[in-house]
Amino acid sequence: MDEVRLSSFIESLEQPKDPVLENIRKEALQKDVPVIRPETEALLVFFLKAFKPERILEIGCAVGYSACVMAYTCPEAGIDTMENYAPRIPEARANFEKAGLSSRVTLYEGDASEILPDLTGPYDFIFMDAAKGQYIHWLQDCERLLRPGGLLFADNVLSGGDILEARTTVDRRNRTIHKRMRDFLYEIKHSSHWESAVIPVGDGVSVSLKQ
Ligand SMILES: C[S@@+](CC[C@H](N)C(=O)[O-])C[C@H]1O[C@@H](n2cnc3c(N)ncnc32)[C@H](O)[C@@H]1O
């Protein structure tokens, strides 16, 4: 199966987006800022509409595109997000302003590993989309912060399929990232604290219900 063609086909089924969102996405891509893939976004929006969360936490804001998508999808929700790469922070704030969302989105500046322990739940929904090698380390905080029955939606969990590659064929840095991601996937699938499914959409998504 040709995954690139399949992905383009799925993308071609998408409806045109809100022009404000489209513009934020376009500008981000022009500057090589990573944003959620369209087919992953469709799945995220699907879960948000099914879940109707009131409090959403995002780990990995970049310039705020997915936070705007989540805020538009859940018009009553408050969203907390975080970003540690300084140049992206003013851009994210400008995008929240442009989208009329500054009052509903709180952007924490800094490293998720330092921010998460200070946050207080409960959140209904967590979107994890930052350093892949850290997912396993952030899992405990996600569990603490989610309400029972809350959903953890994690992106990039299959590294676009690279996670399947043999240990010896990937460089040392990616070897560590892949090992930690496999640990994350093992934990969410085997722990009695989570009910999880791994979905090969985009770079791979996992969805986990806190038991
Ligand atoms: C894939 S991008 C997020 C894209 C965004 N969710 C979207 O779809 O619009 C990941 C972002 O997480 C940030 N990040 C990576 N590690 C982080 C950490 N430890 N703490 C906070 N942010 C982090 C990166 O700087 C990057 O901007």
Atom number, ligand 1, closest to the C-alpha of residue 60: 12
Residue nearest to atom 26 of ligand 1 (CA): 62
pLDDT 10s digits, 116-140 = 999 999 999 999 999 999 999 999 9
This model's pTM is above 0.75: yes
From 30, 32, 84, the mutation candidate for ligand 1 (largest count of ligand atoms within 8 A of CB) is: 84
Name the least confident of 29-38, 103-112, 160-169, 170-179: 160-169
* Residue 86, domain extent: 3-210
Judge whether 125 and 153 are in contact, CB under 8 Å: yes
Ligand 1 binding pocket, CB closer than 6 Å: 34-36, 60, 62, 65-66, 82-85, 88, 111-113, 129-131, 134
Is there a contact between 68 and 92 (Cβ–Cβ < 8 Å)?
Answer: no
Confidence of residue 6 (pLDDT cuts 50, 70, 90): confident
CA distances in angstroms from 97 to 4, 39, 77, 86, 100, listed in the order given: 34, 26, 17, 18, 5
Please report the pLDDT score of residue 123 as a whole number.
98
Mutate to test the pocket of ligand 1, among 83, 116, 142 (most ligand atoms within 8 A of CB): 83
Structure tokens at 51: 């879940």
Verify cis geometry, omega within 30 degrees of 0, for the bond prior to 34.
no
Task: Choose the weakest-confidence range: 82-96, 155-169, 195-209.
Answer: 155-169
Report whether pLDDT(1) > 90.
no
Segment 92-115, tens digit of pLDDT: 999 999 999 999 999 999 999 999
3 state SS of 65: helix
pLDDT of residue 168: 67
Binned at pLDDT 50, 70 and 90, residue 172 comes out as: confident
The partner residues of 196 in beta bridges, in order of sequence, read 208
Angle between helices 65-73 and 38-51 (to 10 degrees): 40
Q: Are 54 and 124 in contact (CB under 8 A)?
A: yes
What digits encode the pLDDT tens for the residues 18-36? 999 999 999 999 999 999 9
Most confident of 128-137, 155-164, 168-177: 128-137
- The tokens for 136 are 């396993």
What is the pLDDT, as a whole number, of residue 166?
66
Q: How many domains does the chain have?
A: 1
CATH of the domain at 131: 3.40.50.150
Q: In the structure, what pLDDT confidence band is assigned to residue 88 with cuts at 50, 70 and 90? A: very high
Indicate if the alpha-carbon torsion angle 173, 174, 175, 177 is positive or negative.
positive
What is the model's pLDDT at position 22? 96
Residue 168 contacts residue 112 (beta carbons within 8 Å): no
Cα(62) to centroid of ligand 1, in Å? 5
**146 CA to middle of ligand 1, Å?**
20
